[in-house]
Chains A and B, each alone.
Chain A
Amino acid sequence: MASYSTNEFRSGLKVLLDGDPCIILENEFVKPGKGQAFNRVRLRNLMSNRVWERTFKSGETLEAADVMDQDMEYLYTDGEFWHFMLTDGSFEQYPADAKAVGDTVKWLKEQDVYTVTLYNGAPLSVTPPNFVELEVVDTDPGMKGDTAQGGSKPATLSTGAVVSVPLFIVIGEVLKVDTRSGEYVNRVKSS
């Protein structure tokens, strides 16, 4: 397996640290005049999602982590695994467990494309696109004449996600939602 020395460190690099795959978030080079150089590195552990801060002596190396992002279509869940398929025409399928799917489960819609991060060939995490379009399956009846003024109510979407929506939204409408904030953006079409 390839390894990276401190001179190759940069944000986005995926490395193995204490046996876990990590992504370098920040790399700062520190060196007093004629003294020993160090790299102060912030990394996110891709297994635990925790952010670590570590110091390395200049010249130390870290093993590269076999981590890569792939676009995959979500197919279905069997209750234990969520099945994804590569969009490159290979039809290769990957089962992701609950840990890998994590919070993304509430944005999973069949036939939509997600970024699946593979570690040693197995799904490590699933990232939704920034915006998804989902149908409202449950919300209080719309209130006419309330379109201009503020005010909001919860709406349950087809995936089970609950978002805060304006009062005029009714069941059956398709909404555009920002998955990063979990916020309603706009109506896509009326039923």
Chain B
Amino acid sequence: MTDQLVWRPTASWENLKSRAQQLAYVRGFFAERGVLEVETPLLGRHGVTDVNLEGVAAAVDAAGVSGGWLQTSPEYHMKRLLAAGSGSIFQVARVFRNGERGGRHNPEFSMLEWYRVGFDDTELMEEVADLVCGWLGCDRPDVLNYRDAVRAIAGFDPMTIPPHDLYQICQQWLEPEQLAGMSRDDCLDLVMSFKVEPELGRARPVFVTHYPTSQAALARITSKHGFPVAHRFELYISGLELCNGYWELTDPVDQRQRFEQDNRRRRAVGKPEMTVDQAFLSALDAGLPACSGVALGLDRLLMLKTGAARIEEVLAFPIEHA
């Protein structure tokens, strides 16, 4: 059958109804807790600098703005609202990530992102558990730090393993010539994807916490057992990565350095550098209140709710049929 003949939705009506119920549940959850719903641009002037995130370039031509990007996350705009004094906020946003299509990925997807002023990562994890377990009816998650997760499942210490040994381990998936240009984090991601992740949250949900600082993104960094760690957490249920949260970085100097570092990495792997969003940095200069924030994949949450094996079972029209 050719693609143009497929006009019907790939999701069942039952799953599409469950999607509507999930949205109502989420809005009710935050209304009850007094968290304000906001909407920020899906179409922004800037993309992100993250080396592993590709935005979808737009072709805007209006008000002197040309080009633009479909946003990979509403994070920068929401942080500008926080800096402007919004208090705790949430958003259900469509976000876009180029090149991502698979059983758990569609280049356009629904993200629930929220920020809690005054919360640290531990408090926000409690709220994530309330939201997720309240909807799925699952057990409350265990908490496992990144180092222990890798040690327990992959059998080595990600903080101390010598580069040569890590390369050796990675050769079960990649040829030596493929490994040549890979950073330590790329190698750890490989182990995480193929070895650790499938085992996470099998028996009951689990939060993975305290990532290596090189994988901090926008998280605060503190020290744990003599190693600097990032206050970043992810929730896994049945091997599915559901959310990514941070005790947010509020230091504009540190943030600038991370953007520059991202662009250096992009240059090193031959990707175009991204223009840094100065409005976002100005917001940080003005002062982002101490807060924690998290982004949760609503399509994946719905996959867990409905028992779907692939994301297209919960999407009306995945990209091939969109």
Taking beta carbons and an 8 Å cutoff, which residues of A are in contact with B?
Answer: 6-7, 27-38, 40, 55-58, 60
Q: Which of A6, A30, A33, A57 contacts B244 (CB 8 A)?
A: A33
B197 touching A32 by the CB < 8 A rule? yes
- B215 adjacent to chain A (CB < 8 Å): yes
Q: Which of B103, B105, B215 contacts A35 (CB 8 A)?
A: B215
> B172-186: contact bitstring with A at CB < 8 Å (1 yes, 0 no)?
011000100010011
A31 touching B192 by the CB < 8 A rule? no
B190 touching A34 by the CB < 8 A rule? no
- B254 adjacent to chain A (CB < 8 Å): no
Contacts of A37 in B (CB 8 A): 52, 99-100
Task: Given A33-B244, A36-B52, verify A55-B194 contact (CB < 8 Å).
Answer: yes
Which residue of A has the minimal Cβ distance to B217? A34
Q: CA of A32 to CA of B197 in the docked complex: distance in angstroms?
A: 8
A29 touching B190 by the CB < 8 A rule? no
Contacts of B64 in A (CB 8 A): none
Task: Given A30-B194, A55-B173, A57-B174, verify A36-B102 contact (CB < 8 Å).
Answer: no
Which residue of A has the minimal Cβ distance to B173? A55
Q: CA of A185 to CA of B55 in the docked complex: distance in angstroms?
A: 55
A33 touching B234 by the CB < 8 A rule? yes
- B189 adjacent to chain A (CB < 8 Å): yes
Contacts of B102 in A (CB 8 A): 27-31
- Beyond A7-B99, A28-B102, A38-B194, list 13 extra A-B contacts (CB 8 Å): A28-B103, A29-B100, A29-B105, A31-B193, A32-B189, A34-B217, A35-B192, A36-B186, A38-B193, A40-B194, A55-B174, A55-B178, A55-B190
A34 touching B50 by the CB < 8 A rule? yes
Contacts of B182 in A (CB 8 A): 36, 57
Q: CA of A36 to CA of B53 in the docked complex: distance in angstroms?
A: 9
Q: Which of B53, B178, B194, B241 contacts A57 (CB 8 A)?
A: B178
- B204 adjacent to chain A (CB < 8 Å): no
Q: Which of B103, B178, B215 contacts A34 (CB 8 A)?
A: B215
Can you spell out 19 A-B residue pairs with CB atoms less than 8 angstroms apart? A7-B99, A28-B102, A29-B101, A30-B194, A32-B189, A32-B193, A32-B197, A34-B53, A35-B185, A35-B188, A35-B215, A36-B182, A36-B185, A37-B52, A55-B173, A55-B174, A56-B178, A58-B99, A60-B178
Interface residues of B in 129-179 (CB under 8 A from A): 173-174, 178
Interface residues of B in 207-260 (CB under 8 A from A): 215, 217, 234, 241, 244
Give min CB distance, A41 to chain B, whole Å: 11
Interface residues of B in 270-299 (CB under 8 A from A): none
Q: CA of A105 to CA of B174 in the docked complex: distance in angstroms?
A: 39
Contacts of B193 in A (CB 8 A): 30-32, 35, 38
Q: CA of A57 to CA of B185 in the docked complex: distance in angstroms?
A: 13
Contacts of A56 in B (CB 8 A): 178
Give min CB distance, A32 to chain B, whole Å: 5
Which residue of B has the minimal Cβ distance to A29? B102
Contacts of A32 in B (CB 8 A): 189, 192-193, 197, 241
Q: CA of A27 to CA of B185 in the docked complex: distance in angstroms?
A: 24
Q: CA of A60 to CA of B193 in the docked complex: distance in angstroms?
A: 18
Give min CB distance, B53 to chain A, whole Å: 7
Which residue of A has the minimal Cβ distance to B198? A30
Q: CA of A111 to CA of B190 in the docked complex: distance in angstroms?
A: 53
Q: CA of A140 to CA of B122 in the docked complex: distance in angstroms?
A: 80
Q: Which of B101, B103, B190 contacts A36 (CB 8 A)?
A: B190
Closest 3 pairs (CB-CB, A-B): A29-B102, A35-B189, A36-B186
Contacts of A31 in B (CB 8 A): 52, 100, 102, 105, 193
Which residue of B has the minimal Cβ distance to A60? B178
Q: CA of A29 to CA of B215 in the docked complex: distance in angstroms?
A: 21
Which residue of A has the minimal Cβ distance to B295? A33
Q: CA of A58 to CA of B102 in the docked complex: distance in angstroms?
A: 12
Which residue of A has the minimal Cβ distance to B270? A59
